[in-house]
Amino acid sequence: MKRQPPTLQLSGRAYLMVAIAIFGAANAITRKLTEIGEQNLIAGRNPISFCNVLFVGNLCALILMAVLHQKQWRMPILRQINPRQWLTLTVLAVLTAAVVPTLIFTALSLTAVNNVILIGQIDTPLVLALSVLLLGERVNGWVVGGALLAFVGVALTVLLPSPNEEVMMTMGMGIDIGLGAFLTLLAAVFKAVSNLISKVSLAQIPLGIFNVYRMLVGTITFFFATIILFDPSHFMDVASPFLWQWMLLYSAIIIVGGQFAWFTGLKLSTASEISLATAFTPIAGVLAAYLVLGEAPTAAQYIGGAVILIGIALNQVGVQRLNATVPEQQPTPQEMEEAIAFKGV
């Protein structure tokens, strides 16, 4: 494969790192917005509740993606997608644009942002394990060792005593785990399964159709599920000017700025550069939690986070060695899009 000029390589890395910094801050900014809402109640209600942030954020993302990918939504292209692929797209849309964000947003209301960031890293070893077992994907000892260490790091973050969890659950063998940590783990499992399904069944679907349809179905599903399972009053303040002024800022930074930098970086970077950039996501997230919220890591998060970072480093060594022995394969558009665990919506 022809190498890009050095100037383009540097530019691609720069765009990727800007995107990682923005996406890494998404959890902290989401929590900060809800805190601002708590200080500006409307009739005793928080106008920037997690439900409103997710619903309005999804609407903003849907509008943005529809504009960016409008050229792909043409009948000749849509006719090439068979009914089975539409069904798979629908299932993935419900999981990745409704269920997973809801679990993450709920976890953010129950536990420290750093817990959500670090525990969410378990999706990487989960995807690797599923890819090896079900798809026969080629790995080496470095990659396997890195995945195992990342898993151990997440386990330490979850199981070591922490003062941040307000609600505890008792699992098998008398193990206590915080509800926020459990919801984050559940979100990671759903995301890993979705990633595998996407890799197997939807590699040929244009990214624009994949994203717009996913966001459309996810937004509709979340809206009606909230009304049916909970109460329509959850959306009473969805038209509040106060909510929208903050969501427009949120959308401009997280959705518009982050997506623009990410997609631009993807076009100018190799698969190895993308993989290396995503490895910095937990670091960016923890720094953002401290700078935006003043949330310093606990002892459990320091220990678990350090083990996770060592695992990520080993994984990068393994990826580089694999690329040195076999031609580097560019990931599918869906795989590149799903490389970041949480992008704000």
Model pLDDT, residue 97: 84
Question: What residue spans of 137-280 are helical by DSSP H?
Answer: 141-159, 179-201, 207-229, 241-250, 258-268, 271-278
| pLDDT tens digits along 224-233 | 888 887 777 7
Model pLDDT, residue 7: 44
**Torsion angle of C-alpha atoms 26, 29, 35, 36, degrees rounded to 10:** -130
313 touches 146 (CB < 8 A):
yes
Model pLDDT, residue 181: 87
Question: Cα–Cα distance between 74 and 89 in angstroms, integer?
Answer: 17
> Cβ–Cβ contacts within 10 Å for residue 175, how many?
10
306 touches 153 (CB < 8 A):
yes
CA 122, 288, 259 angle in degrees (round to 5)?
A: 75
Q: Where are the domains of the chain?
A: 6-337
Residues in CB range of 197: below 8 A, 6 or more apart:
88, 91, 92
Model pLDDT, residue 307: 93
What are the respective helix, strand and coil percentages of the chain, to the nearest 5?
75, 0, 20
Burial pattern 136-154, b for ≥16 Cβ within 10 A else e, equals: eeebeebbbbbbebbbbbb
What SS3 class is residue 48?
Answer: coil
CA 288 to chain centre: 15
pTM of structure = 0.82
| pLDDT tens digits along 49-108 | 888 888 888 888 788 778 878 888 888 888 888 999 999 999 988 998 889 988 998 898
Which pairs from 323-326 meet CB under 8 Å and 24+ separation?
323/271, 323/272, 326/138
Question: Cα–Cα distance between 27 and 260 in angstroms, integer?
Answer: 19
Strand segments (E) across 286-339: none
Mean pLDDT by 10 residues, the chain (345 residues): 48 85 90 92 88 84 82 87 91 89 88 90 84 80 88 87 57 64 91 84 80 88 84 81 87 79 79 77 91 90 92 85 64 55 53
Q: How many CA atoms lie within 13 A of 139 on its CB side?
A: 21
30 touches 285 (CB < 8 A):
no
Model pLDDT, residue 6: 47
CA 140 to chain centre: 26
